[in-house]
Amino acid sequence: MLIFVTVCILGLIFFVSFYYSDGFIAYAKTDYGYIVKTLVPWHIVPGQTLYVNIVNEANVPESKINVVEQAIMSNETIALDDPIMHKGPTGSSSVYYKGWEGALVAASINSTRYQIPNNFRIVQSSPLSGDIVIKLTSELDPDGLTGKTKPLTFQNKIVRSTIMIYGADKLSGQQIATITRHEFGHALGLEHSTDPEDLMHASIQMEYPYISPCDVDAIRALYDGNQLSQVICKK
């Protein structure tokens, strides 16, 4: 099954496909590893809660609201064999995260220069309220986008992020969950990965669209003051 979805960040258009296949696709990487590009971090104090406002303009059923919530709030992990993700030899595995809160708690194990957000509260209220606003709309984007993120930055920090999910009433729960995970990564300060098997890659072609150890490393580096605007993942 091949499902095409398009997303955008900071006004730039990216064509994204979610490709589900049992076949093996080989991807090469450079001697330097894969790269996850970064933007700027949030500047929050320890223990601060970020409010995530889900605006259901598309009047989607509660089941689809729940998958958005789980893509953010879940602490569930899944161990995937590295060969499945084209990352390593037979017998090795890595832990992936089904929700950003679990991934961010893992990223926060070691102290960083800036506090990594890992405490979220989901609300459903006015479209103008919330630190991160996720709008589910039945409207179609003129450019054919399905997802778009606009971080509002000031003095090298994110102060608010708005995520749009277009045609939400026509998307499956699985599609909405994947788009939410990808766009929420942008809302936290990540840009795109050069790894075709990573959730933050511009073209998602993966059977398991979850938050990778590389994404966690990129968050940790970004919030520790990495000035290179990119993180190299060896695995």
3-state helix/strand/coil string of 15-38: EEEEECCCCCCCCCCCCCCEEEEE
Cα 59 to Cα 40: distance, rounded to the nearest angstrom: 33
Cα 216 to Cα 195: distance, rounded to the nearest angstrom: 14
Per-residue confidence (pLDDT) for residue 30, from 0 to 100: 42
Task: Give 122-150 pLDDT, tens digit per residue.
Answer: 999 887 799 999 999 999 988 888 899 99
Task: Give 4-22 pLDDT, tens digit per residue.
Answer: 444 554 433 333 333 322 2
191: burial class by Cβ within 10 Å (0-12, 13-18, 19+)? buried
Looking at the chain, the whole-number percentage of residues with pLDDT higher than 90 is: 69
Per-residue confidence (pLDDT) for residue 6, from 0 to 100: 46
Per-residue confidence (pLDDT) for residue 232, from 0 to 100: 86
Q: What is the dihedral of CA 194, 199, 204, 208, to 10 degrees?
A: 130
Per-residue confidence (pLDDT) for residue 81, from 0 to 100: 94
Task: Give 79-94 pLDDT, tens digit per residue.
Answer: 999 998 888 888 999 9
Tell whether domain 2-233 is in CATH 3.40.390.10. yes
Cα 234 to Cα 3: distance, rounded to the nearest angstrom: 30
Segments in the chain below pLDDT 50: 1-6, 9-32
Per-residue confidence (pLDDT) for residue 15, from 0 to 100: 34
Cα 203 to Cα 180: distance, rounded to the nearest angstrom: 15
Per-residue confidence (pLDDT) for residue 31, from 0 to 100: 42
Per-residue confidence (pLDDT) for residue 10, from 0 to 100: 46
Between the alpha carbon of residue 24 and those of residues 17, 109, 205, 206, the distances in Å are 17, 35, 12, 11
Q: What's the pTM? A: 0.87
Per-residue confidence (pLDDT) for residue 192, from 0 to 100: 93
Per-residue confidence (pLDDT) for residue 146, from 0 to 100: 87
Per-residue confidence (pLDDT) for residue 115, from 0 to 100: 97
Per-residue confidence (pLDDT) for residue 161, from 0 to 100: 97
Per-residue confidence (pLDDT) for residue 143, from 0 to 100: 85
Per-residue confidence (pLDDT) for residue 144, from 0 to 100: 83
Cite the beta strand spans of the chain per DSSP E: 2-9, 12-19, 34-38, 50-56, 77-81, 93-97, 120-123, 132-136, 147-153, 158-165, 190-193, 230-233
Per-residue confidence (pLDDT) for residue 48, from 0 to 100: 97
